Amino acid sequence: MATAIKVEAEVRTVKGTSAGRRLRRAGKFPGIVYGVGKTPVNVQLDERLFKRALHAHSGENVMLDLDIPGSETKKVLLREVQRHPITGQILHADFNEISMTETLTIEIAIELIGEPVGVLQKGGVLEHLVRSIEVECLPSDIVEEFQVDVSALNIGDSLAAGEIPLDTSKYTLVTDADLAIAAVAAQRAEEEPAPAATAAEPEMINEKKLAEGADAAKAAAPAKAAAPAKEAKK
């Protein structure tokens, strides 16, 4: 079950590119909180404290208690964090306000566990085709990942989303049930390189060409006249 992380935020009254730059120079970054049927709320957060709060969280679905002075604490999901491509500085963050009593559709990661029999015994290759699935659940039932045992898969076998053992009292599968999540394939045979020509072959060809050239030269040369016979001595 996902645990909410408490993070402090302030209402942001000034917007625009220049205001965002000033915030970042002061060690803060702008954000916005979206809510169904609600007006978006512009906020600003301390980057150092925000990173510290999320430091131990490795998953994608981060639930936060956004504590805004002068307002009630908002239960939110971290939707997106934009970072500078070089420095990693946080540039902006989006949050979705949620209700703990209403279901939501969310992507949850898939972790494959176990060694497929087709890999262990027959040298196959495990292919992880889809890294997450969409489910509908209450916020309190959000988990970091679903662990799926693939040890029974043989070469040619696959595991579909509908075969993932979900607790149907908590989760409703939204992803197509026939979508292949993992499969075991046979290793591709490596193509053997074409045999290189032996060194003797070009030598034989060259000798043949030389012989043909010599014969042609002889045929083209003019025949020499026979030497005259010596006259007999009188």
What's the pLDDT at 37?
Answer: 85
If asked whether residues 38 and 63 sit together in one domain, one would say yes
Number of domains in the chain: 2
pTM score, two decimals? 0.70
Are 45 and 112 members of one domain?
A: no
Contact between residue 21 and residue 5 where contact means Cβ atoms under 8 Å apart = no
Of the pLDDT bands very low, low, confident and very high (cuts 50, 70, 90), residue 183 is: very high
Q: What percent of the chain has pLDDT over 70?
A: 77
- Average pLDDT score over residue span 92-111: 94
Phi, psi of 105 (to 5 degrees): -100, 130
**84 and 126 housed in the same domain:** no
- Average of per-residue pLDDT values in the chain: 84
Give me the domain span that covers residue 164. Answer: 104-185
Ranges 34-43, 103-112, 162-171, 201-210: which has the least confidence: 201-210
pLDDT attached to residue 197: 54
| Higher-confidence position of 198 and 120 | 120
Residue 212 lies in a domain: no
CATH number, domain containing residue 143: 2.170.120.20
Q: Which CATH number does the domain housing residue 24 bear?
A: 2.40.240.10
Residues 6+ apart with CB under 8 A from 226: none
Is the pLDDT at 232 greater than 50? The verdict is no
Give the up-direction half-sphere exposure of residue 23: CA atoms within 13 A in the CB hemisphere: 26
